[in-house]
Structure 1
Amino acid sequence: MLAAVLAGCGKENVEESFPMSVEVEELEAVDQDGDKVRLSELNEDKIVIADFIFTNCETVCLPMTANMAELQEKIKEAGLQDSVHLVSISIDPEEDTPETLTEYSKRHNADYSNWSFLTGYSREEIESFANVSFKTPAAKVEGSNQFVHATSFFLVGESGTLLNKYEGVSDPPYEEIIKDIQKLN
């Protein structure tokens, strides 16, 4: 009987305790090195923390990326780096080439061992992906080189399910994110 009770305490049941439950669709992309990747591969046996950025952003992307770099350090300090992959997804694939993403990410001392910057899809694909899989807007501002997009960090469980979102620009709840990762680990 104890085995049956313990079996009921698996990761799937833990995921049910989170406020969101949205299946994340597949995203085929290239990373900062120009290598083809699939989001499901980055998510395989790992928890994903994702955000949406673009490199010529004039407002929220720089602080979000700096905060993601800080989160990466806190994940390392907690000894969780092997179970988490950070993913920054460009919503401006026409401008954000792998080379551009590499230059941008190096300014934030990104450690690519568990942080990928993605591009290589069409703008229509990424807008639909953000809208459907992350329930968040992503659209070009008419007559501008700027985009409307989420300013959240998104937690995706190993099952490929979006489970939670957190403030990504001002005062991210690092401790809460770490606790949620530990809960899923």
Structure 2
Amino acid sequence: MKKKLVGLIGILTLITILSACSNYKFKPDIEYEVEDFTAMNHRGEEVSLEQLKGKPWLAMFIFTNCTTICQPMTFNMTTIQEELEKRGVEDYNIVGFSVDPANDTPEVLSEYLSHYTLADESKWNLLTNYDQKWIEQFALNSFKSLVKMPKEGDQVIHGSTFYLVDEKGTAVKSYTGYSDSADGVPYETIAIDMETLIKERLDK
């Protein structure tokens, strides 16, 4: 009798969890309208905000000469993509804005990205081909994020946040993109939010 009761409790718990997952509703926590832009990706292709519209995308700010957080952030983004692939999510993009465009040519960005194992490279766009003043202003206006080239040295000051941008070009959620803690970056949450955002758009 006790075994049957334990089994029944287990089944009810599983049903509750599955029900909660199916009823999950995407809730924006920010609303930043991304300014219009046209840039060049690591494949030498032109990428604009208008081209990205229609699908949600994940955004981050990095640069290839970074000696601290950029490599871990890029690796964390590859982990998020793996989560998306496991869930069968396909209609999305990943956009990395270089905060050091003078050095990060498309060729340099392509070489940088080649050191990572990507579930689907075609979803990635590491962007450059704009000037330093522009990216500093763009980051502030579009994502409320600080980007600043220091007067001395080559280590650009920038944030470690990942942003979820909806299909209309509005940043709707922000997440920790780098953490010293192993469980500090919410990989699964980001994947679920992306998946839910896409499903809700298709259901409209």
TM > 0.5:
yes
AA aligned to 2:51 is E
Q: Does 1:72 align with 2:81?
A: yes
* Alpha-carbon offset, residue 120 of structure 1: 0.4
Counterpart CA distance in 1 for 2:101 and 2:108 is 10
Task: Flag the structure with larger Rg.
Answer: 2
Match status 1:105 vs 2:100: no
- The aligned counterpart of 1:38 is 48
Q: Compute the displacement of 1:39 (Å).
A: 2.7
1:13-51 C-alpha deviation (Å, 9 max, x unpaired): x77x31111110112100111111113312x22111010
Are residue 158 (structure 1) and residue 191 (structure 2) matched? no
Shift in Å, 1:73: 1.1
In structure 2, the residue matched to 1:178 is 191
Once residues 74 and 141 of structure 1 are traced to their aligned partners in structure 2, the CA distance between those partners, rounded to angstroms, is 36
Mapped to 2, the partners of 1:91 and 1:55 lie a distance apart of 9
In the alignment, structure 1 residue 29 sits paired with structure 2 residue 39: yes
2:135 equivalent to 1:126: yes
Cα drift, residue 112 of structure 1: 2.5
Supply the distance in 1 between the matched residues of 2:142 and 2:50 (Cα, whole angstroms).
Answer: 13
Q: Distance in 2 between matches of 1:183 and 1:124?
A: 36
Q: Which portions of structure 1, spanning 4 or more consecutive aligned residues, are displaced by more than 2 angstroms? A: 109-112
2:151 is paired with a residue whose SS is: coil
Q: Does the CA contact (< 8 Å) of 2:49 and 2:169 recur in 1?
A: no
CA offset digits 1:64-107 (Å, max 9, x no partner): 00111111111111111x21101111010000000000000010
Q: What is the alpha-carbon distance in structure 2 between the residues aligned to residue 135 and residue 40 of structure 1?
A: 21
1:147 aligns to 2:139 (yes or no) = no
- Give the structure 1 partner of residue 146 of structure 2: 137
Two-structure CA RMSD over aligned residues (Å): 1.3
Number of aligned residues: 169
1:154 Cα deviation from its structure 2 partner: 0.4
1:92 and 2:85 aligned: no
* CA distance, structure 1, for counterparts of residue 49 and residue 83 of structure 2: 23
2:72 maps to what in 1?
Answer: 63
Q: Percent identity?
A: 40
Of Structure 1 and Structure 2, which has the larger fraction of its residues in strand?
A: 1
Q: In the alignment, which residue of structure 1 is the partner of 2:56?
A: 47
